[in-house]
Structure 1
C-alpha cells in the first residue's frame, strides 16, 4: 500500500514544510515573471478610468 503513496506523503513535518515553501516560492516567482507586468498595466488603466 505504501508503494502507492507519493514521496511527499511519507516525509517528516520539517521536510514537508520545506517542500511546501519551495513550491510556494516557485509559484510566486512564476506569477511575478508571467503576470506581474499585466497586473501593473491593469492597475494603471484602472487608475486612469477613475
Structure 2
C-alpha cells in the first residue's frame, strides 16, 4: 500500500431484504386476520 491512505466513498444507497434481517421473526395478525411482520424499532433508528 502506498503512503497516502484514501478515504472510502460515502455510502449512498443500502438495499436490505427485511425477512430475517430487520424483522424479529414474529408474524402478527390484526383483528381482521391481516398478516404483518414485527420489526424492532432500533433497526430503523440505526439505519437512519
TM-based fold match above 0.5: no
Structure number having the greater strand percentage: 2
Structure number having the greater helix percentage: 1
TM tier relative to shorter chain: under 0.3
